[in-house]
Structure 1
Amino acid sequence: MWKSRINCLFVILLRFRITLIHVDFSGRYAHTVVKIRHNAEADLQPDDTDRALLALLTENARLPVTDLARRLSLARTTVQARIERLEAQGLIAGYTIRRGRALAPPLRATALVSVEARATPALLTRLRDMPEVEQVHTLSGRYDLMIRIAATDTERLDRILDRIGDAPGVRFSESLIQLSTKIDRAP
């Protein structure tokens, strides 16, 4: 028999910052009110299982979900739900192929470019029109841009490097020709 109202507070720390469960015992019935302050940052941080799943998918994005589940010792539906959550959160942006050596262009180079103030947008527009330009990254330090270039032969590479060096707003540039790849972890 309950002679008075008993209030119990439980604090549960899981993937939530704080979850308060207030249980009100009045007479014979118990009413439970749950107030959840959800920690959105915790959902965006992958746990160890997510990291293991991402590593397997990075190694081979074509693995069937059943194989992933077996390697992770999880149920297939759990792995599928994790993949869907990682996609929804933007941690998995897509799936792609990596070209084999037979399809890769024979020459790759990196151009380091120093750009005059306010000339970067015009230069980026020009670089977008060059199909040989694969990637452009902004940098801190002596150079402003790092441009990854792929060409089929040295003449074409020379023309691209000249077009970049002669572009309005380019102060100076330096090019580095890639001889071989020793480690490649890029997806």
Structure 2
Amino acid sequence: MDELDRNILGILGADARTSVATLSRRLKVARSTIQARLERLETSGVIAGYTLKLGEQARQGRLRASVLLTIEPRTQAAILTRLKAISEVERVFTTSGRFDLLLQIAAPSTQVLDQVLDEVGAMTGVRSSESLIHLSTRIDRAV
């Protein structure tokens, strides 16, 4: 991946709807070059897809939380299977350090969030959990 590829990804990261013509003009490169680069980035898996990023207006009314889990050895596969069945669990990351998993959860109310946290905490193999409720977003560079 060279500087042109990184520039293409940077522009698309800010606005995935940017057209090939606009990319070409902004980067001062032929449209055919941009198109070929995009096809190569897609084929190689660097670009996995184009998506919609919801703004604060659309996210209002949804509570978000990060949940840190410590789990029993050799229970990760079973826990992941159960977490996949909970629609409020948006993402699960493995981590290093004191905790084994980090969950991102979004719920429409405190009652639903409380139920999800209870369900996760009651899973066989979960030793402990720590929940962090998201209050406001100060920086968001995620694509």
TM bracket (short chain): over 0.9
Output the TM-score relative to the length of structure 2.
0.96
Aligned to 1:103, what secondary structure does the other structure show? helix
1:60 aligns with one of 3, 15, 19 = 15
2:76 aligns with one of 117, 120, 125 = 120
Cα shift at 1:99? 1.5
TM-align CA RMSD:
0.9
Of Structure 1 and Structure 2, which has the larger fraction of its residues in strand?
A: 1
Equivalent pairs: percent with the same residue?
Answer: 52
Unaligned runs of 5+ in 1: 1-45
Q: Is 2:43 aligned against 1:88?
A: yes
Question: What is the CA–CA distance in structure 1 between the aligned matches of 2:25 and 2:134, rounded to whole Å?
Answer: 39
Q: Is 2:94 aligned against 1:129?
A: no
Question: What is the CA–CA distance in structure 1 between the aligned matches of 2:15 and 2:106, rounded to whole Å?
Answer: 25
Of Structure 1 and Structure 2, which has the larger fraction of its residues in helix?
A: 2
The within-5 A match list for 1:37-186 is 46-104=1-59, 105-186=61-142
> C-alpha deviations, 1:127-158, integer Å up to 9, x for none?
00000000000011110000000000111101
> Which consecutive aligned stretches of 4+ in structure 1 deviate over 2 angstroms post-superposition?
100-103
Unaligned runs of 5+ in 2: none
| Residue correspondences, number | 142
Aligned to 1:162, what secondary structure does the other structure show? helix
Match of 1:58, as an amino acid? G
Question: What is the CA–CA distance in structure 1 between the aligned matches of 2:90 and 2:62, rounded to whole Å?
Answer: 14
Cα shift at 1:185? 1.1
- The higher radius of gyration belongs to 1
